[in-house]
Structures are given as C-alpha cells and as structure tokens.
Structure 1
C-alpha cells in the first residue's frame, strides 16, 4: 500500500517535470501509478480517466484525486492533490515575479514556440496507447477527427458538434443498431 508521502512525491515529481498541462501529465501518471507503483490496474486507470475527463475541473487534478482516493482514501486525495497543484503554483509564482522583465524577449518567444510540438507529441502518444487498450479502432477515430477539423476550419462552435454527436448517437442506437 502506498504511503501518503509516496503519493505526494509521485504527483509532485509528475507535476514538476511535465510541460503542456493536464493532458500531457496523463501518460506520466499512467506510467507511475499503473506500471511502476501498481496502485491501479490498466483497466481501472482507463475507467478512472474517463470519469476524470467527465468531471468538472482540470483533468490532471481529477486524475490525482481518483488515484489518491483509490490508494489511501480521503487523506490520499489531499496528498495527491497537493502534489499535483504545488509545482504549478510555485512555477507560476516564480514566472509572475520575473516574466515581466523577459516577456518581450525574442529568444523566450522562440523557446515557447519550440516547446509546442513536443507538447503535442506528449499528448498524442498516450492517447494512441490508451485508445488501443480501450479497443478504439481506426474507424472510430474518424468522427472525432472530422469534428476537430470542422471546428478548426469553419469556426463552428464545439457545442453544435456535441449536440450533433448526441443526436447522431441517439439515432444510431434507436434505428441503425437495432437492425
């Protein structure tokens, strides 16, 4: 069983060395809690991740809350949450104190632009891996890809895409799948 400090240190480490936000943290959380520490099984992690995405709030924090609760109950939630939040809080505090001096520096702008492709790769790789473990096929990737392209190219609100997907799912379930 995980100790409170193990939970805190694991999430603090992940929060400290991840660039790109919550979705970039997911593969590191998965590797830490499923593969290294074995606090969760792969299937539990995938189910928990679906719930964490559905719950309001940042996905990395939601994931940390679920893992902390599963590992050590309510106190585990406190330690996992603090481990996730503190690195970002400290970094943002430091950046706020010194960034005003460097915000217009072209070198700093280039560094941030250079980090973007790495962040995309950090997000794409675990999504692909989790998709495989969740049984997602190439055919099922078409719909979200088309939805993203429609939003990007036409500027249509994602709300309309979601409403259309709900209507399509209901129609599929009532009319097509029954046959």
Structure 2
C-alpha cells in the first residue's frame, strides 16, 4: 500500500474530505505573461525613431506584427481601422490600443511615452535648424528624399498586409470600393464607412457563423 493510498483511505474512514491535487492546466489554457512596461516603451521608441511621415504605419506593422508577433495582420488592420476612425492622431491611438492590449493602463502609458518622448525632443531641435536653413537647396532635396522613402514604406505595408487579408472576393470588393470612394471621389471618411461598414460587418458575421457551425459539426462527428 502506497502512502498516498493510505492517506486517502484514512481520510475516507474518518469521514473527512479527501483532498486531491488539481490537474495541470492544458497547454492551450496557459496564460501568456504580460509584456513588460519597459519592453513596450522601448519598442515604440524604436518605432518612432526608425520611421517618419507616412512610413510610421509601415514600421509599426513591422515591429508589432512581424518582429514582436504581438498581433497578426488581421488584428493589426482592425486596430488601424478603429484608430483612423476615432479622433486624434492615428499612431498615438494605435500606441494606446496596443499598449492597453499588452499591459493595461501601464502598457498604454509606456507605449505613448515611447512613441512621443524622443521625437518631441528631436523635433524641437530640427525645427530650430530648419528655421535657420529652410532656404537651402540641400535641405529641400533631403526632405524630398524622406518623403519618397515614406511613400515606399507605406506601399510595402499595403503589399504585405494585402497578401494575407485580401484572400477572397468580398475583401477585395470592399478594398476597391473604399479606394474609389475615399481616394478617387474624395468622399468624407464617414460617408465611405456608411457604405462599406455595414457590408463588411454582415460579411464577417456570416463568415464567423459558418465557421462556428462547421466546427460544431466536426466536433459532433
């Protein structure tokens, strides 16, 4: 008779409750630890110092999705959409969104501080230099090169995210409709969303419902 079995029998004989150890959690139930305050601040500081202009969204995607894997492309694009709709600067909104997801209010503060602290200091210095040398042709050429690089980084983000999200006819149609209404016809964002958002929500709901039904049928069989 093993010690464990004797203890269980003794407890049962005395009318006491038998204590058993809880089974270890399954692998998919393991709670992922929160990302640290300093890691979030350092990452967004790197984002802010490694990109500029329109390239900020592209570099945010590179760090958050490709390198850190804190989000996938679908979640990142959803976050970007929400941040563009809400008032305020898009990248500030995104930093708060990602930071809150990773570590609550502390994470939001860390992301915001990392994003704006050093660029604020650098911008003040650059503004002083620009005021002194704004008529220099060399400065104008440098700024034009920066603008071209920012456009290239934005196009790179569009290409990478498009390959993973525009995988069926409905996303492609929504993308094309939004591009035509907002990019070519210059409709206001709210009017464009009034047309595309109900269609996108209905399509996503129907797709999720079908996926859940298929999973239920597979489990039953």
* TM-score normalised according to structure 1 size: 0.76
Max radius of gyration: which structure?
2
Q: Which structure has greater helix proportion?
A: 1
2:151 pairs with one of 120, 123, 130: 120
- Aligned length, in residue pairs: 162
2:184 pairs with one of 126, 149, 156: 149
CA positional deviation for 1:140: 4.3
Unmatched tracts of structure 2, length 5 or more: 1-33, 201-221
* TM-score normalised according to structure 2 size: 0.63
1:4 corresponds in structure 2 to 37
Q: Does 1:38 align with 2:72?
A: no
2:50 pairs with one of 5, 14, 17: 17
- Counting only pairs closer than 5 Å after superposition, residues 1-179 of structure 1 correspond to structure 2 as 1-21=34-54, 24-135=55-166, 136-137=171-172, 139-147=173-181, 148-151=183-186, 158-159=187-188, 163=191, 165=192
Say what the alpha-carbon RMSD is for the aligned residues: 2.7
Tell me how far apart the structure 2 counterparts of residues 126 and 120 of structure 1 sit (CA, whole Å): 10
Unmatched tracts of structure 1, length 5 or more: 152-157, 174-179
Tell me how far apart the structure 1 counterparts of residues 193 and 96 of structure 2 sit (CA, whole Å): 29
- 1:116-164 per-residue CA deviation (whole Å, 9 max, x = no partner) reads 2221111122123223333232x5444344342344xxxxxx43x853x
